[in-house]
């Protein structure tokens, strides 16, 4: 079934969710420089320079350039002292890389439900988690799709319980909360330069902190933990996590364009908001007073009353088209028919088979009875809203094509395609 068959001309060039945006000569010049000087290794002027730029941009005193954001998060988790059996509270609606590093160290994630205002970790649920799981030793919170969460409140909860906050700012580089850049709220923070992030090195990441000793430790761990000695002397486990000087060249060429990328992403977000405003949908929300997202991905959430029937099992989705209604599956499939790429919301980590034995805490301090299937019978909280907010957003939401190179005309067609799903 495909309701708008033949109504639009498929895009000749695929409209991507989010693909790298190059600035030609600038990145190449830094790579060329590395070649010319033969710094084709994990040290050199590009690595030094991107560390300086990132530290300044994010407002942390120290930056350590690494092979990827996941490596940065791993070293954050190690710096927080997480070891076998330690509980770590983490965002529930996020990319799996937010939490994988906790597993690397033998820690046990406890998933904290999401709030509707910013789609990030709910500070009320985090507070509840500390009474349910007094053993929680650190908190990892992500800024979903480039939108800062309620970082003040989350930080206050962490401080009150004396645990380390790790901010996963992989998606939100360039965003800010109450005037302070994201990636600076945790004691240890991570950013990413993966191919689809707001700026990219093809891969790459960075650990950011104000703690000099921690930065030095991370730097040492990331280069195989060599001690100061004339030979290879080792007292600790080492990692080969340093960023390549060639990749750093790409990142260095991209950094001057960060603000421009954000402006373009914001324009895309605003165009969707305008173009979809009379549909029964809402864009991914943010606190317009407190925060300035980087608008990495534009998303939408369908009103419950405008959802057609949709069921998802572990691997597949089905839906039944209905007049005046739609669902993420229908919109994603229809976009794909026309050669445009959307994406489901990150499936909540608490509902992943990998984490079926892990805790999950809602704003009411419960939620251990987990379900994967979200249906009309989903449990409601005392406020009348769904108790499992993450699953509700997964069920009703999706990420829209948000590529910087998408033209206004292409975006207008994407908007028309979405509208046709609600016909
Ligand atoms: C991309 C991403 C990461 C991981 O970054 P890599 O550089 O791909 O390792 C971590 N957390 C979130 C939320 C991300 O989106």
Dihedral, 114, 165, 99, 332 alpha carbons, nearest 10: 40
pLDDT tens digits for 14-38?
999 999 999 988 999 999 999 999 9
Residue 417 near ligand 1, beta carbon < 6 Å: no
Pairing mode of beta strands 299-302, 397-399 = antiparallel
Dihedral, 66, 70, 71, 72 alpha carbons, nearest 10: 70
Q: Whose alpha carbon is nearest atom 5 of ligand 1?
A: 69
Q: Mean pLDDT of all residues in the chain?
A: 95
Task: Check residue 370 and give its pLDDT.
Answer: 54
> pLDDT at residue 184 above 90?
yes
Task: Check residue 156 and give its pLDDT.
Answer: 98
Residue 386 — φ and ψ, nearest 5°? -55, 145
Does residue 320 contact residue 309 with C-beta atoms inside 8 Å? Answer: yes
Q: pTM for the full model?
A: 0.97
pLDDT tens digits for 362-418?
999 876 555 555 555 678 899 999 999 999 999 999 999 999 999 999 999 999 999
Helix (H) or strand (E) holding 350: none
Pocket test for ligand 1, best of 92, 194, 199, 205 (most atoms within 8 A of CB): 194
For the range 217-225, what are the long-range contacts, defined as Cβ-Cβ under 8 Å and sequence gap of 24 or more?
217/79, 218/64, 218/75, 218/79, 219/64, 221/75, 221/78, 222/64, 222/66, 222/71, 222/75, 223/42
Q: Which two tokens stand for residue 71?
A: 């490596």
| CATH of the domain spanning 258-363+375-420, picked from 3.90.1150.10, 3.30.40.10, 3.30.200.20, 3.40.190.10 | 3.90.1150.10
> pLDDT at residue 212 above 90?
yes
Task: Check residue 3 and give its pLDDT.
Answer: 82
pLDDT tens digits for 188-197?
999 999 999 9
**Mean pLDDT score, 1-9:** 84
Name which residue leads in pLDDT, 44 or 4: 44
Q: Distance (Å, rounded) from C-alpha 327 to C-alpha 324?
A: 11
> pLDDT at residue 218 above 70?
yes
Task: Check residue 366 and give its pLDDT.
Answer: 76
Task: Check residue 35 and give its pLDDT.
Answer: 96
> pLDDT at residue 346 above 80?
yes
Task: Check residue 376 and give its pLDDT.
Answer: 56
Task: Check residue 241 and give its pLDDT.
Answer: 98
pLDDT tens digits for 286-327?
999 999 999 999 999 999 999 999 999 889 999 999 999 999
pLDDT tens digits for 50-65?
999 999 999 999 999 9
Residue 192 near ligand 1, beta carbon < 6 Å: yes
Task: Check residue 403 and give its pLDDT.
Answer: 98
The order of strands in the sheet holding 164-168 is 62-66, 205-209, 188-192, 164-168, 136-142, 87-91, 108-112, 360-361
* 142: β partners: 168
Ligand 1 atom at minimal distance to the Cα of residue 205 = 7
Does residue 86 contact residue 65 with C-beta atoms inside 8 Å? Answer: no
pLDDT tens digits for 73-100?
999 999 999 999 999 999 999 999 999 9
Ligand 1 atom at minimal distance to the Cα of residue 91 = 13
Residue 130 near ligand 1, beta carbon < 6 Å: no
CA 356, 359, 360 angle in degrees (round to 5)? 100
Q: Distance (Å, rounded) from C-alpha 260 to C-alpha 279?
A: 30
Does residue 185 contact residue 174 with C-beta atoms inside 8 Å? Answer: no
Task: Check residue 415 and give its pLDDT.
Answer: 98
Picking from 21, 94, 95, the residue whose alpha carbon sits closest to that of residue 262 is 21
Q: Distance (Å, rounded) from C-alpha 421 to C-alpha 423?
A: 6
Q: How confident is the model at residue 1 (pLDDT cuts 50, 70, 90)?
A: low
Residue 168 near ligand 1, beta carbon < 6 Å: yes
- Is residue 106 helix, strand or coil? coil
Q: How confident is the model at residue 4 (pLDDT cuts 50, 70, 90)?
A: confident
Domains of the chain: which residue ranges?
A: 25-256, 258-363+375-420
25-256 folds as 3.40.640
Q: How many CB atoms lie within 10 A of CB 238?
A: 15
Task: Check residue 368 and give its pLDDT.
Answer: 58
Task: Check residue 356 and give its pLDDT.
Answer: 92
Q: Which two tokens stand for residue 212?
A: 């000099």
Q: Distance (Å, rounded) from C-alpha 57 to C-alpha 184?
A: 10
Residue 97 near ligand 1, beta carbon < 6 Å: yes
**Mean pLDDT score, 325-353:** 97
Task: Check residue 69 and give its pLDDT.
Answer: 98
Q: How confident is the model at residue 176 (pLDDT cuts 50, 70, 90)?
A: very high
Distance 285 CA to ligand 1 centre (A): 21
Percent of the chain residues past pLDDT 70, beyond the cut: 97
**Mean pLDDT score, 105-133:** 97
Q: Distance (Å, rounded) from C-alpha 293 to C-alpha 405?
A: 19
Helix axes 328-337, 408-421, angle to 10 degrees: 130
């Amino acid at each position: 079934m495909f309701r708008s068959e033949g109504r639009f001309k498929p895009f000749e060039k695929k409209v991507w969710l989010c693909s790298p945006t190059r600035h030609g000569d600038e990145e190449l010049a830094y790579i060329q420089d590395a070649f010319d000087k033969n710094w084709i290794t994990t040290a050199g002027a590009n690595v030094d320079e991107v560390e300086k730029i990132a530290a300044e941009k994010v407002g942390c005193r120290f930056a350590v350039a690494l092979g990827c954001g996941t490596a940065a998060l791993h070293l954050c988790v190690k710096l927080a002292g997480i070891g076998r059996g330690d509980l770590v509270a983490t965002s529930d609606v996020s990319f799996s890389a937010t939490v994988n590093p906790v597993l690397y160290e033998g820690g046990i994630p406890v998933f904290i439900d999401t709030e509707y205002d910013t789609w990030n970790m709910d500070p009320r649920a985090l507070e509840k988690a500390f009474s349910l799981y007094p053993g929680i030793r650190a908190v990892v919170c992500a800024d979903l799709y480039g939108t800062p969460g309620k970082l003040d409140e989350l930080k206050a909860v962490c401080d009150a319980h004396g645990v380390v906050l790790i901010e996963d700012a992989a998606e939100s580089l360039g965003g800010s909360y109450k005037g302070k850049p994201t990636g600076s709220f945790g004691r240890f923070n991570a950013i990413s330069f993966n191919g689809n992030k707001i700026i990219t090195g093809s891969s790459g990441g960075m650990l950011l902190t104000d703690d000099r000793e921690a930065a030095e430790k991370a730097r040492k761990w990331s280069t195989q933990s060599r001690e100061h000695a004339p030979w290879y002397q080792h007292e600790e486990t080492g990692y080969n996590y340093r960023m390549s000087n060639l990749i750093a060249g790409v990142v260095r060429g991209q950094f001057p364009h960060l603000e421009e990328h954000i402006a373009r992403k914001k324009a895309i977000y605003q165009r969707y908001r305008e173009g979809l405003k009379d549909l029964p949908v809402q864009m991914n929300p943010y606190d317009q007073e407190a925060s300035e997202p980087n608008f990495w991905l534009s998303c939408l959430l369908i009103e419950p009353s405008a959802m057609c029937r949709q069921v998802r099992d572990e691997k597949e989705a089905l839906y039944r088209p209905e007049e005046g209604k739609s669902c993420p599956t229908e919109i994603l499939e229809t976009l794909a028919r026309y050669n445009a790429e959307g994406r489901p919301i990150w499936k909540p980590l608490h509902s992943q088979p990998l984490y079926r034995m892990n805790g999950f805490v809602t704003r009411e301090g419960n939620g251990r009875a987990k379900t994967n299937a979200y249906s009309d019978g989903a449990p409601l909280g005392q406020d009348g809203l769904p108790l499992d907010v993450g699953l509700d957003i997964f069920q009703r939401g999706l990420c829209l094509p948000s590529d910087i190179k998408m033209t206004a005309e292409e975006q207008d067609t994407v908007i028309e395609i979405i509208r046709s799903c609600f016909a």
